[in-house]
Structure 1
Amino acid sequence: MRIHSKLQFKRKINQALLAINTDEISFLERKTIPFENGEEFQDFQHPYAYDLDIFGNHSLFQHLNRSATFIGKKTLATTLLHKSDNDEILSNQEAIAELSQKLDWRQEFLAFAKVTNDSESSYKTLLQWSTFNSESLPKWLVFFSYASPLFFVVIFISYLLTSNLFLLSCLSYLFVLNLMVLGRFFKRIQLEIANSDNIDKLIGQYGMLLEKIETEQFVSKRLLDLQQKLKFKTENASIHLKKLSELFSRNDAIANLFTATLFNGTFLFNIHVLKALLQWKKEHAEALEDWLIVIGEFEKLNSLANFSYNNPDFVFPELNTDYKINFSDLSHPLLNPETRVGNELYFHPQSFMILTGSNMSGKSTFLRSLGINMVLAGMGSVVCATEAHVHPLPVLVSMRLSDSLSDSESYFFAEIKRLKQIMDALEQQPAFVLLDEILRGTNSDDKRNGTIEVLKKVITKKAIGAIATHDIEVCLTTNDYPAVLTNNCFEVEIKDDELYFDYKLRAGVCRNKSATFLMKKMEII
């Protein structure tokens, strides 16, 4: 049976490895995106999550995600929503660079994670168990749990030697007494294993994931620090989890009427297991969550390492603290690499860009390219550029909002609230701000004047970023702030009676218009 179990587990790992590579090939050939999209982490109130398509179908999360445990997905999602400090970004860059070269190890780790069949409910059940009622058993019960089995063995041996029926009746009374004692604590035992179906297997597989980390040789400081967190007392975390898995397996014996009666009537078996579980919980409860966090961190870093491995032309940005941001050949990392168009841009000496261009010329995609690459840079990932210098900043975006019918909230009011959120955030610290055609819910004059005032307010708060607009008069603001503002545009050409977009960023204000031409061509006007 042991040989069979080992072969069965090896088969599961090989099946998982086959699935991992099949999915990855399908993804790289742009046939499907067979990875979880993180829709459950969507936050419409977040400063950029919805606007930049961080979660959902065809999202950044779905392209990055190579995690199979709940804590792995949660860690990746959390990191995507918050900028790390510079030291953490640099340590993540070093760790990702190292892991990107450990292809076999990364895939084996993911295969082990896949066979755990982990879920949010099982993860939370385990953590709830670790903090639930860890009160020690009464001292009299601990004494009785050792004394009773000892008496049972002594009386049983005496009966075998003497065949005295009185001793046999004493054994039967002691057997019943043990079961009565067990019955008094039966509910406590049931509470310990409540909602823990197959939890011993899950714990054992968590232990194997930790063992994969413990036995691998790492060089980068980040990975070594995570590895060090798995040292507990004199043993590795995987050994402690293996012991816990065995205790849960033993406790399952109480579900079998025959074995429960026999083992507990003689040796109070489940009382000893309960005592050991409570002792394990008392000693390891705080460390348990830390160990699972390490698994989540490795799954996150593995996902980002896979992203780097799949895109060898992407680079790690060089960090600075001078508020200088520039990219060479910047593009959107989720676009087809064979057709995407890169652009050069510098946010110094001027720090804010007014972007113009006709519809479909690429303004919104360009803003999203900026936003997503700043998010990637802020977590230590590679970015879609051939060279990048970045001062990591919080990202604030107003690009794509929606009416909230449940809150009786119009698009316009939702946008005003987002602009207020951006201004409040800028009061706390400088940020990277992206605005796309703001104030669309009002008349032309109001929209133009409001846009200019918002722009002035943003740059006085030392924001870096860009605003896209169709209103040419907004571009005149650069005359008043030439040291801060710059005009850039995307142009459209008409070739052979067709619109032609090259998606290349140019200096200056957009001159060409496409709406009238397109409507005439489609015989709308």
Structure 2
Amino acid sequence: MNVNMPLQTYQENITTLKSQLETIAAKRRRAAWMRFFIVVATILLVRFTWQFSSWIIILSAIVGIAVFLIAVSFDTDLKNKLLNLERLLKINEEEVALLNGNYHSRFDGKNYEPEQHVYAHDLDIFGKASIYQYLNRATSEQGRQLLADRLLSHQSKEEILLTQQAVKEVAQDTTWRHQFQSFGTAEPLSLRTEKRIENWMQLPPLYDHKAWKLLAYGFPVITITVTILHLADIISAPLFYTLVFAFMIFAFSISKKLHETYNLLSRIVTEVNTLHKQLEHIENNSFSSPLIQSIKRNIQVKGSSKASAEILGLKNILGRFDVRLNVFAFYILNTFLLWDLHQILALNKWKKNNQQTTSHWFNAIAQMEVISGLATLHFNQPAWSFPSISTSHFTLNGHNIGHPLIAEGKRVDNSFGLEGLGKVSIITGSNMGGKSTFLRSIGVNAVLALMGAPVCAASFTISPIKLMSSMRIADNLADNTSTFYAELKKLRLIIEAVNNKEQVFILLDEILRGTNSLDRHTGSKALIKQLIHQQAVAVIATHDVELAQLENSFPEAIHNYHFDVQVAHDELFFDYKLKKGICQSLNASILMKKIGIEV
């Protein structure tokens, strides 16, 4: 794919959507005038038929109202199309902004970052200018949580390959992805709504005896018969109103027991509509990747009914249940039709048919949102590659590895490989030379690779591993923890994993920086030897060039790399290219001179 194709596609979409919006807006203006003329025509029709029989007058009014309602329905459809087009336009405009590096106002997932994690803080997984902020296209809380979970852990080789296949397929259909996202944006699904439905599903059914079903249909016959007899002057007014009062007392004695159910299900119709739309969109797609096919199987309802049809049924029931919000309609419908009883019976039937499947529906949305987000990444970055997953531990081999959050025009890519157990790569270099960025480039791409996403590299091979890092350490005044002790706590976790023979890959940047230079060198040297002895694999960035001398004692285990700096007329020039060997050029003295320290 042409690297400029994503931007061109979005720009073409924006032009098309703006044109469609203008067309729909013009139709809505005409529809507004149409409703006005219908109202005027209906009034005139009633006026001209006033001298005729009352049936003709009523018929004229009914016809006018019917036509008006059809016009309102037509306008409602136009409004929904307009809102959908506006959401699609916003999605495309956001993608253009993101391609231009303007994504820092997007949801950043900072609330998902654990207080303690083996790499999340070091690699800027969450927060402003983070991987999460760059990747996320999920609108539901379920999808956003699942994306966070995937970024905080790794999948098996089989799961990674299945995700890659699904991502490649979904990436080809931009229209499907954007419409799926638009449906979710209309009224995003929340964990609260999922929990409320789950709690309702666990409640025992109310009025589940057959006698209540007979009453639900027999009661309206009685009330309507009484009303007709009253209109025919067979039942007197006092008796009629006494009976109506009795009907109302009986009806509301039934409704009183439904408060718990209603409190759980009230005002969730809009989110249920989102669930319906997104599930229907998944069902109607023709994707054939095994992962998506598995997702579609999991949402199927027993029998021939589709999940989206079942959700639509629930939406309609809840819409009728929400008649309670209209006090006048609520009193009339319950008094004469036992409206609440009808709805609870319908809910009982729905619950029985869908008892085992509702949790799968929310999970399916979350999974497809994550896949769709990674597919968008693949579409936006056609030069990135899908990694190969090695079955042997340990393998890491990348060609032209770059940091995903650095723009292509500013990014300097590097190739790097590390294979086998008991291997430590030591990277020395001057200040600002690129050591930390390189470590984060490896780490972030490892995280992407192990969740099934494309990586910022021409090629990339990695083993399924547990990534651990110690790069960005801060003190904690609340816990009375110094920087040095905070680092020791993190190193202890790494050492415990190494001693337990876990398949870990370790990234360390300036270890033991919180102590004096002698202790730091001694401790760092001892740690490297222990990592080699325990057959661990690590990449360590350091200013301590003396550590690089360990290669003489462990030539098979330690390999030295460096980033250097060129100096000309007291100016520093960085190429940010990884080179083999030990760094020979340092720049601290030049930097100190620039700020006025006489060195």
Report the TM-score range of the alignment, normalised by the length of the smaller protein. Answer: over 0.9
Q: Which residue in the other structure is 2:550 paired with?
A: 477
Q: Which residue in the other structure is 2:308 paired with?
A: 238
TM-fit CA distance, 1:454: 1.8
Query: How far, CA to CA, are the matches of 2:557 and 2:256 in structure 1?
Result: 71
Query: How far, CA to CA, are the matches of 2:118 and 2:420 in structure 1?
Result: 26
Match of 2:271 among 202, 205, 219: 202
How many residue pairs get matched?
522
Query: How far, CA to CA, are the matches of 1:206 and 1:353 in structure 2?
Result: 49
Does residue 259 in structure 1 map to residue 329 in structure 2? Answer: yes
TM-fit CA distance, 1:197: 5.3
Q: Which residue in the other structure is 2:565 paired with?
A: 492
Given the superposition, is the C-alpha separation of residues 12 and 130 from structure 1 closer, same or farther in structure 2, using an over 3 Å criterion?
farther
TM-fit CA distance, 1:196: 5.1
The one-letter amino acid of 1:416's match is L
Does residue 6 in structure 1 map to residue 77 in structure 2? Answer: yes
Within-5 A mapping of 1:296-335: 296-322=366-392, 323-335=394-406
Q: Which residue in the other structure is 2:441 paired with?
A: 369
Match of 2:288 among 219, 238, 241: 219
CA deviation vs aligned residue, 1:367-395 (integer Å, no higher than 9, x gap): 00010000001001111110111112111
8 Å CA contact 2:465, 2:503 repeated in 1: yes
For structure 1, list consecutive stretches of 5 or more residues without a partner in the other structure: none
| 3-state SS, counterpart of residue 186 of structure 1 | helix
Return 103-112 or 89-98, whichever deviates more.
103-112
TM-fit CA distance, 1:174: 5.3
CA deviation vs aligned residue, 1:451-480 (integer Å, no higher than 9, x gap): 122222233333323011122222222233
TM-score (norm 1): 0.94
Query: How far, CA to CA, are the matches of 1:425 and 1:173 in structure 2?
Result: 79
- Identity among equivalent positions (%) equals 33
Does residue 405 in structure 1 map to residue 493 in structure 2? Answer: no
Q: Which residue in the other structure is 2:48 paired with?
A: none
TM-fit CA distance, 1:510: 1.1
Query: How far, CA to CA, are the matches of 1:491 and 1:52 in structure 2?
Result: 23
Return 330-339 or 28-37, whichever deviates more.
28-37
The one-letter amino acid of 2:329's match is T
Within-5 A mapping of 1:454-473: 454-473=527-546
CA deviation vs aligned residue, 1:47-105 (integer Å, no higher than 9, x gap): 11111000000000001111222112111111111101110100000011111111111
The one-letter amino acid of 1:84's match is Q
Given the superposition, is the C-alpha separation of residues 178 and 457 from structure 1 closer, same or farther in structure 2, using an over 3 Å criterion?
farther
Q: Which residue in the other structure is 1:100 paired with?
A: 171
TM-fit CA distance, 1:303: 0.8
Q: Which residue in the other structure is 1:50 paired with?
A: 121
The one-letter amino acid of 2:439's match is L
8 Å CA contact 1:93, 1:381 repeated in 2: yes
Given the superposition, is the C-alpha separation of residues 354 and 276 from structure 1 closer, same or farther in structure 2, using an over 3 Å criterion?
same
Q: Which residue in the other structure is 1:191 paired with?
A: 260
| 3-state SS, counterpart of residue 539 of structure 2 | strand
Query: How far, CA to CA, are the matches of 2:285 and 2:411 in structure 1?
Result: 38
Does residue 452 in structure 1 map to residue 525 in structure 2? Answer: yes
| 3-state SS, counterpart of residue 371 of structure 1 | helix
Within-5 A mapping of 1:316-395: 316-322=386-392, 323-348=394-419, 351-395=423-467
CA deviation vs aligned residue, 1:406-435 (integer Å, no higher than 9, x gap): 211111111111111122233152111101
Larger of the two Rg values belongs to structure: 2
Given the superposition, is the C-alpha separation of residues 484 and 171 from structure 1 closer, same or farther in structure 2, using an over 3 Å criterion?
farther
Return 515-524 or 314-323, whichever deviates more.
515-524
Within-5 A mapping of 1:269-288: 269-288=339-358
| 3-state SS, counterpart of residue 440 of structure 1 | coil
Query: How far, CA to CA, are the matches of 2:533 and 2:239 in structure 1?
Result: 90
Given the superposition, is the C-alpha separation of residues 268 and 396 from structure 1 closer, same or farther in structure 2, using an over 3 Å criterion?
same
The one-letter amino acid of 1:310's match is N
Q: Which residue in the other structure is 2:37 paired with?
A: none
Q: Relative contact order: is structure 1 or structure 2 higher (C-alpha 8 Å, sep ≥ 6)? A: 1
TM-fit CA distance, 1:126: 4.2
The one-letter amino acid of 1:65's match is N
Given the superposition, is the C-alpha separation of residues 471 and 88 from structure 1 closer, same or farther in structure 2, using an over 3 Å criterion?
same
The one-letter amino acid of 2:565's match is V
Within-5 A mapping of 1:162-201: 164-165=234-235, 175-194=244-263, 198-201=267-270
Given the superposition, is the C-alpha separation of residues 454 and 279 from structure 1 closer, same or farther in structure 2, using an over 3 Å criterion?
farther
Query: How far, CA to CA, are the matches of 2:561 and 2:538 in structure 1?
Result: 12
Query: How far, CA to CA, are the matches of 2:247 and 2:232 in structure 1?
Result: 24
CA deviation vs aligned residue, 1:109-167 (integer Å, no higher than 9, x gap): 11111112444544544444444x2433263544533443344456566x38985428x
Query: How far, CA to CA, are the matches of 1:282 and 1:430 in structure 2?
Result: 46
TM-fit CA distance, 1:523: 2.2
Return 383-392 or 142-151, whichever deviates more.
142-151
Return 233-242 or 54-63, whichever deviates more.
233-242
Given the superposition, is the C-alpha separation of residues 163 and 87 from structure 1 closer, same or farther in structure 2, using an over 3 Å criterion?
same
| 3-state SS, counterpart of residue 347 of structure 1 | strand
TM-fit CA distance, 1:265: 1.4
Given the superposition, is the C-alpha separation of residues 409 and 337 from structure 1 closer, same or farther in structure 2, using an over 3 Å criterion?
same
Query: How far, CA to CA, are the matches of 1:477 and 1:201 in structure 2?
Result: 64
8 Å CA contact 1:152, 1:171 repeated in 2: no
TM-fit CA distance, 1:284: 2.2
Q: Which residue in the other structure is 1:425 paired with?
A: 497
Query: How far, CA to CA, are the matches of 1:454 and 1:315 in structure 2?
Result: 35
For structure 2, list consecutive stretches of 5 or more residues without a partner in the other structure: 1-71
| 3-state SS, counterpart of residue 231 of structure 1 | coil
8 Å CA contact 1:95, 1:221 repeated in 2: yes
| 3-state SS, counterpart of residue 416 of structure 2 | strand
Query: How far, CA to CA, are the matches of 1:398 and 1:422 in structure 2?
Result: 9
The one-letter amino acid of 1:259's match is A
TM-fit CA distance, 1:349: 5.0
Query: How far, CA to CA, are the matches of 1:286 and 1:391 in structure 2?
Result: 37
Q: Which residue in the other structure is 1:520 paired with?
A: 593
TM-fit CA distance, 1:493: 1.4
Q: Which residue in the other structure is 1:62 paired with?
A: 133
Given the superposition, is the C-alpha separation of residues 520 and 162 from structure 1 closer, same or farther in structure 2, using an over 3 Å criterion?
closer
8 Å CA contact 2:188, 2:274 repeated in 1: no
| 3-state SS, counterpart of residue 344 of structure 1 | strand
Query: How far, CA to CA, are the matches of 2:222 and 2:251 in structure 1?
Result: 17
TM-fit CA distance, 1:338: 0.7
8 Å CA contact 1:430, 1:462 repeated in 2: no
Return 480-489 or 114-123, whichever deviates more.
114-123
Query: How far, CA to CA, are the matches of 1:193 and 1:500 in structure 2?
Result: 68
The one-letter amino acid of 2:562's match is C
| 3-state SS, counterpart of residue 232 of structure 1 | coil
Given the superposition, is the C-alpha separation of residues 130 and 408 from structure 1 closer, same or farther in structure 2, using an over 3 Å criterion?
farther
8 Å CA contact 1:134, 1:282 repeated in 2: no
